[in-house]
Structures are given as structure tokens and as C-alpha cells.
Amino acid sequence: MRRGSIVQLVAIGAVCGAGAALVALLIPWLPHAASEQAGRIDFVFWFVTTICIAIFALVAAVILYSVVKFRAAPDDDSDGPPIHGHTGLEIVWTAIPAALVTAISIVSAVVLAKNEDLPHASAASPNPLRPLVVDVMAQQFFWTFKYPGFGNLTSSTLRLPIDVPVKLRITSVDVTHSFFVPEFGQKLDAVPGSVNTLAVTPDRLGTFPVICTELCGLGHALMRSQAQVMTSQKFRSWAKAGRQKPGGAASGKALFASNGCDGCHTFKPAGATAKVGPDLDKLREEAQRAGVPLEQFIRESIVNPNAYVEPGYPKGVMPGTFSTLPKAHLDALVKFLAGGRR
């Protein structure tokens, strides 16, 4: 091969490679990672992407060069010269991909192993933050997060301290859902009857969406919550304030949050602003429209949500599972909603 041809090949390859690199770099393909695991996954992604761009540049250069250089004249109907294989080339184009695929496998295996690695809580000195265990419960169509290390504190948003390894124990009470926080880089199915564990070590402060990523029914698209990554200090004071006192009377406000009502509804006394379901600040007007006394209307709407559905909202989105709430909880919730006060 002449020197000029090699220069041409390299030039075409450089242009193609640069073009592909710009597409990879300029478009924000991935969310900004917010966990150690996502950072490692991003590394694998860029490792593979770099290899792909190099191979793309090589192949594109050879193809474009050949199309131009070895183009047959329009009046040339003759057969091409007979060609036997080229052993040297074949060895090279088998060995290089084999080496690259092996490298990708090793890097991926190391990242997978590291991402699943969690410190084991020792029985001698149990520290609720090494790792922090959170029970994630999926249900049509909301998420509940329970903190067994903090007196089974329950929340409808996933609050996590920064730089603390977290073990999410994910399950479902009805159908299959899937837990996904794009910034954490991982998805895991929530399956009724089994508990799947996911390790997350958040390393960036902020609020990120929790998304259900398995079609689970009419309200699937609305099955969202938030993951709030906060400083350890803030997390501890939140956990301390929210910790349920054993035997203490459950407040309507706390029940509103722990049952996930604030995931779907607006209700000023609870500081809830979600817009999936009807606005509970307007319960009085809604009860009038339904023609039922206020307290009875609220109770029915919780226990048997499809009996009356506010116009403009789809049927079957509000879960029917609240009919199993203990009577004391139901009473407290009805009182809280009817009074608009604690």
C-alpha cells in the first residue's frame, strides 16, 4: 500500500471517528449520575462507547476508501479477480474483537461485583447506617418506604443520607412493578411474594424521580415518587422527628403521609401538592356533588374509591387496598381530611 493511500485512510477514519465522538459527547444520553453504582455503570458505558467509536472509524474508513478507489467504470461488465482468503488479515480481525469482548466482560464483571457489594451489619455493634436498610413496597399505584432501623418509620418519599450504603429490599403487594431512579442507574423488579435487594450509595445531594418502569395497570404512568438525597445530619433529624412512638395515637397527618396519600393528592394541611387524584382541599364541594355527607363521603372514597369518582378523573386509579386500614387509622384519617386540621 502506498503512503498516500494510508494517509487518506487515516484521514477518513479520523473524520468519521470525530463525528461519532461528537454525537456521543454532545447529546446528554445519560442522566447525571447520583450514586457510586451509577458512576461505575457510566464508566462501563464510556469504555464500550470508546471501543465502538474506534471500530466504527476503522470500518467506515475502509468502506469509504474502497467505494471511491476501487469503483468499477460504468462500462466495465467484467468479473472481478478471484480472491482467496488472507490468513494474516483473518487472524487480526478475529483476535482484536476477541480481546476487546474479553476486556468488556472483565470490566463489566468487576463493576457488577462492586455494585452489589454492601458492608455487612455486624451483630456486635449494629449501626443502622452500615448499611441503611429500606423496605420498598410497591402497590398500585404508589411507593411506600419503610426504615426498619428507625422504628419502622414510613414515608412516601425515599429519603437517603449521602455517601451511606443503602440496601433496598424491594417487594410488591399486588402486581409486578419495577423500581427505577434514573440518576442511580439501576432498575429492579418489585415482585409480589419475593424480596429483591438493590444496593445504592448516593453520592450527590438532590431530589430525583422514583419511577415505576413496569406496566402495572391504569395508573402506571402516575406511579412516581421522589428520592431525596440529604446530608447525614438532616437525615438523622428527619428520622428522629418522624419516628413513630409505639402505642401512641396515630395522627391523621402522619397517616396521610405514611399511606402515600400525598403521592397523588393536593391537601394544604398536609403540605401535599400532587395532582394525580382529586384536590382534597375541595372535598366539601366534591361531597356535595356526590350528594353524600362530608365524613361519610370521605370514608367511602377511601374504602370503596370507585363508588363515586370525581368527574375528570379516571376510575380504578385510586387503590382499593385501603379498605384494610385499621379502624382507628381510618377514623383519624377521615377526621383529618374532614377538618382540614390535625
Q: Footprint of ligand CUA on this chain (CB under 6 A)?
A: 138, 141, 177, 212, 214-216, 220, 223
SS3 288: helix
Looking at beta carbons only, is 187 or 335 nearer to ligand CUA? 187
* Separation of CA 273 from chain center: 22
Residue 197: closest CA among 158, 159, 170: 170
Looking at beta carbons only, is 60 or 211 nearer to ligand CUA? 211
Looking at beta carbons only, is 212 or 334 nearer to ligand CUA? 212
Instruction: Tell me the sheet residues that pair with 272.
Output: 267
Distance CA 263, CA 226 (A): 9
Cell of 16: 468519521
* Closest distance of CB 310 from ligand CUA, Å: 22
Residue 190: closest CA among 178, 180, 204: 178
Looking at beta carbons only, is 12 or 138 nearer to ligand CUA? 138
* Closest distance of CB 214 from ligand CUA, Å: 5
* Closest distance of CB 222 from ligand CUA, Å: 9
* Closest distance of CB 268 from ligand CUA, Å: 28
* Closest distance of CB 220 from ligand CUA, Å: 4
Burial readout 97-122 (b: 16 or more C-beta within 10 A, e: otherwise) = eeeeeeeeeeeeeebeeebeebeebe
The per-type count for the chain, helices as H runs and strands as E runs, is: 8, 12
* Beta-strand relationship, 158-161 and 224-230: parallel
Looking at beta carbons only, is 36 or 214 nearer to ligand CUA? 214
